[in-house]
Structure 1
Amino acid sequence: MSYEGKVVVVTGAANGIGRSIAVAYAAEGASVVLADIQEAEGAAAAAALRQEGRNAVFASCDVRKEEDIIRLIQETVQEFGRIDILINNAGVSRWKSPYELKLEEWDDVLNTNVRSCFLAAREAARHMTELGIPGSVVNISSTRAVMSEPNSEAYAASKGAINSLTHAMAISLGKDGIRVNSISPGWIETQDYESLRPEDHQQHPAGRVGKPADIARACLYLTHPDNTFITGANLVIDGGMTRKMIYEE
Structure 2
Amino acid sequence: MKNVVITGSTRGLGFFMGKEFLNAGCNVTFSGRGEKPNENLLSLMDQYKDQSLYVRCDVKNKADVENLWNESVKKWGSVDIWINNAGVNYPEDFIYNINSEYVESVIDTNIKGMIYGSQIASKNMLKQDKGQIWNMEGLGSNNMIVSKTILYGTSKHALTYFTRGLAKELSKTSVKVGRLSPGMMATDFILKQPESKGISESFKKIFNILGDKPEIVAKFFIPRILKNTKNDAHIMWLTTSKIIFRFATSPFVKRKII
**TM-score above 0.5:** yes
Residue 42 of structure 2 is aligned with which of 42, 47, 52? Answer: 47
Does the 8 Å contact 2:95/2:148 carry over to 1?
Answer: yes
- What CA distance in whole angstroms lies between the structure 1 residues aligned with 2:85 and 2:212? 17
Structure 2: 5+ residue runs without aligned partners?
192-200, 248-258
Residue 161 of structure 1 is aligned with which of 158, 166, 170? Answer: 158
Shift of 1:130: 1.5
| Secondary structure in structure 2 of the residue aligned to 1:174 | coil
| Secondary structure in structure 1 of the residue aligned to 2:170 | helix
1:228 aligns to what?
A: 229
Shift of 1:176: 2.3
TM-score normalized by structure 1?
Answer: 0.82
Shift of 1:218: 4.2
Paired letter, 2:221 = C
Range with greater deviation from structure 2 (209-218 or 156-165): 209-218
Question: In the alignment, does 2:199 pair up with 1:203?
Answer: no
> Structure 1 residues 164, 242: CA separation in 2 closer, same or farther (over 3 Å shift)?
farther
- What CA distance in whole angstroms lies between the structure 1 residues aligned with 2:224 and 2:160? 15
2:110 aligns to what?
A: 113
Residue 58 of structure 1 is aligned with which of 54, 57, 62? Answer: 54
Does the 8 Å contact 1:188/1:211 carry over to 2?
Answer: yes
> Structure 1 residues 45, 172: CA separation in 2 closer, same or farther (over 3 Å shift)?
farther
Paired letter, 2:13 = I
How large is the Cα RMSD of the aligned pairs? Answer: 2.9
> Structure 1 residues 165, 221: CA separation in 2 closer, same or farther (over 3 Å shift)?
farther
1:238 aligns to what?
A: 238
Does the 8 Å contact 1:10/1:34 carry over to 2?
Answer: yes
- What CA distance in whole angstroms lies between the structure 1 residues aligned with 2:9 and 2:25? 17
- What CA distance in whole angstroms lies between the structure 1 residues aligned with 2:220 and 2:157? 19
Structure 1: 5+ residue runs without aligned partners?
none
Q: May I ask how many residue pairs the two structures share in their alignment?
A: 232
- What CA distance in whole angstroms lies between the structure 2 residues aligned with 1:155 and 1:234? 20
> Structure 1 residues 83, 43: CA separation in 2 closer, same or farther (over 3 Å shift)?
farther
Paired letter, 2:70 = Q
The ranges of structure 1 where at least 4 consecutive aligned residues each deviate by more than 6 angstroms after the TM superposition are: none
2:252 aligns to what?
A: none
